[in-house]
Amino acid sequence: MTMDNVTFVTLAGLDGTEQEHAIIDRGNGEFTSMLKSTYDEMIAAQANFTPTL
Amino acid sequence: MTRARDTADAQDNLGGAVAPFVAGKNFQINGGFDIWQRGTTLNAVTHSTYTADQWIAVSDSIGTINITQQNIAAQGLGVNYCMRVEKSAGASNRVVMVSVPEGALSCVGKTVTLSGYLRKGSALTSNVTVDIGTRATRYGTQYDGIVSSTISNASLNSSTFTKFSYSFNVTTTTSTNNANLFELEILYTQAGGANVYLEIAAIQIEVGSAATPFSRAGGTLAGELAACQRYYFRTQTGTGTPYMGVTVAGSSTTTYANVIMKQTMRSTPTAVDFSLLRWQAINNSGNITAASIADATPENVLLNCTTTGATTAAMNYLIGQSAAAYVGFSAEL
């Protein structure tokens, strides 16, 4: 997943609770969105991942 | 009718042993490369990208990695498709295809066999390396049963597929570390260019010390799709302006869209992929410029969608702007 072009936005749920989300622009009008906390965990995990081979 | 009876009947009919097409024999979901919810032609994929369902492209480098589905029904391998992993440009670096199917804990104390078929592009000169072990998490430490084997380039062919198989023992190291994932890696290392590719087919991970004929993890095509959709579900028709769910506007700039999963997901989805979405009323519509998960269960997702021109509290349809529109939900490992 390309990690360029990430926008962080704060959105309110139905109950008004606000949460920060990461919206990744993958180009060609395609996007992936997740909680910023999930995004941060994913980036940290990928940085540590080395294929065995 | 039982499997034993099916097999016995088939052997009577055919005069010999037959392939045991049994759901659940193969731990590798989508080892036949039937299911490609993200598309069957994926160009310029980048590090840690899901491609065919259950298969992740990992590249230390960059270059141009293209992943495509190829029809190989005529090869007589018992599968219709393979995955072509092409490096069309870039310096000499590793191109690794990874999959992390669940089920290793059920194999503790048993011998497990990995098998599959490989075919090289005419310009592939690299050897191919295959590795399998167990992990607790996708990015975690690899344990137990590690097999790392080089398949020489000379043993591969550019016209027909070459079979490989390796057996290994899953020991208590796997259970001690709660490592329920098999972790399979298939790798080559070469600079990009025309016809630099590897094709991978009929991947199977099964209990036993010998490879048996390929069987989909889900048994049937429908079962395989359901198995894949437990991890990722994308709704996309490829024609018209697909209907995907319903929305209720919270304000003129926010509408909440409900999408029901076709399959109960492995866990609550944590990410949403989307493109070209809009809401549609009888006489009004608006494009959706952003969508994030507001609430979710493994069966149901509520999206917070950014838009303009909505009427507060109005119920609308969630549809696509074009046939290319989609929304996809990830509960991947």
Does the structure show a pLDDT above 70 at B48?
yes
pLDDT at B146: 67
Q: What is the pLDDT of residues B17-29, one digit of tens each?
A: 455 667 789 999 9
Higher per-residue confidence, B115 vs B7? B115
CB pairs below 8 Å between A and B: how many? Answer: 87
Q: Which residues of B touch A35 (CB under 8 A)?
A: 270, 292-293
pLDDT above 60 for B275: yes
Name which of B264, B91, B270 is nearest B189 in CA terms: B91
Listed residues B229, B264, B279: the one ending a domain: B229
| Average pLDDT score over residue span A23-46 | 88
When mean pLDDT is compared across A14-23, B3-12, B121-130, B230-239, the lowest value belongs to: B3-12
Q: How confident is the model at residue A49 (pLDDT cuts 50, 70, 90)?
A: low
Q: Name the strands in the sheet holding B300-306, side by side, starting at the edge strand that comes first in the sequence.
A: B285-287, B277-280, B315-320, B243-249, B254-260, B300-306, B290-296
Task: Give yes or no for A5 touching B (CB within 8 A).
Answer: no
B221 and B246 fall within a common domain: no
The answer on B254 and B215 residing in a single domain is: no
pLDDT of B1: 38
Cα A36 versus chain centre, distance: 6
| Inside any domain, residue B16 | yes
Give contacts of B278 with chain A, Cβ < 8 Å. none
Interface contact A45-B138, CB threshold 8 A: yes
Residues B202 and B135 in one domain: yes
Find residue B287's DSSP bridge partners: B278
Residue B229: left (phi > 0), alpha (psi -120 to 50), or beta? alpha
pLDDT tens-digit series, residues B162-182: 999 999 999 999 999 999 999
Does residue B1 fall inside a structural domain? no
Find the closest chain A residue to B45 by CA distance.
Answer: A1
Indicate whether B272 belongs to any domain: yes
3 state DSSP class of B73: helix
Q: Looking at the 3D structure of chain B, how many domains does it have?
A: 2
B26 shares a domain with B81? yes
The mean pLDDT of chain A is 81
Does B222 map to a domain?
yes
Residues B103 and B20 in one domain: yes
Nearest CA to A1 among A52, A53, A46? A46
Q: What pLDDT band is residue B148 in, cutting at 50, 70 and 90?
A: confident
Q: Is A11 on the interface with B (CB under 8 A)?
A: yes
Query: In which residue are the tokens 């992740």 written?
Result: B56
Minimal Cβ distance to A53: which of B48, B96, B274: B96
Question: Where do the DSSP E strands lie in B172-263?
Answer: 181-190, 197-207, 232-235, 243-249, 254-260
Instruction: Give the end of a domain, one of B199, B229, B259.
Output: B229
Give the integer Cα–Cα distance in Å for B303 and B95: 35
For residue A51, what pLDDT is reported? Answer: 60
Which residues have a Cβ under 8 Å from the Cβ of A19 and sit 6 or more positions away?
A10, A11, A13, A35, A36
| Whether pLDDT at B5 is above 70 | no
Asked if residue B44 and residue B171 are part of one domain, the reply reads yes
Q: Which of B139-153, B220-234, B313-327 has the least mean pLDDT?
A: B139-153
Write out the residue range of the structural domain in which residue B239 sits: 233-330
**B3 belongs to a structural domain:** no
Predicted pLDDT of residue B133: 92
Is this complex's ipTM strictly greater than 0.85?
A: no
Kindly indicate the confidence band of residue A48, based on its pLDDT and cuts at 50, 70 and 90.
low
Examine the pLDDT at B13 and tell me if it is beyond 80.
Answer: no
Query: Is there a contact between B142 and A49 if contact means CB atoms under 8 Å apart?
Result: no
Q: Kindly indicate the confidence band of residue B60, based on its pLDDT and cuts at 50, 70 and 90.
A: low
Q: Are residues B54 and B139 in the same domain?
A: yes
- State pTM to two decimals: 0.89
- Shortest distance between the Cα of B227 and any Cα of chain A, in A, equals 22
Residue B95 burial class via C-beta count within 10 angstroms: exposed 0-12, middle 13-18, buried 19 and up:
buried
CB-nearest to A53 from B49, B131, B273 is B131
Instruction: Please name the member of A12, A34, A46 whose beta carbon is closest to the beta carbon of B271.
Output: A34
Same-domain status, B17 and B133: yes
Q: pLDDT tens for residues B115-147?
A: 999 999 999 999 999 999 999 988 778 888 666
Do residue B305 and residue B205 come from a single domain?
no
Highest mean pLDDT among A38-52, B54-68, B214-228: B214-228
CA dist., res. B199 & res. B121, Å (int): 8
Same domain, B49 and B152: yes
Q: Which of B229, B247, B266 is the last residue before a domain boundary? A: B229
Is the residue at B153 inside a domain? yes
Instruction: Say if residue B215 is in the same domain as residue B88.
Output: yes
Shared domain for B125 and B169, answered yes or no, is yes
Task: Please give the pLDDT value at position A4.
Answer: 60
Q: How far is B275 from chain A (nearest CA, A)?
A: 5
Cβ contact A51–B139 (<8 Å): no
Question: Does residue B2 form part of some domain?
Answer: no
For residue A49, which residues of chain B lie inside 8 Å, CB to CB? 48, 58, 138-139
Which chain B residues are Cβ-neighbours of A33 within 8 angstroms?
271-272, 274, 290-293
CATH of the domain at B21: 2.60.120.200
Specify if B237 maps to a domain. yes
pLDDT 10s digits, B246-263: 999 999 999 999 999 999
Does residue A45 have a pLDDT over 80? no
Helix (H, G, I), strand (E, B) or coil at A39: helix
Cβ of A29 and B146 within 8 Å? Answer: no
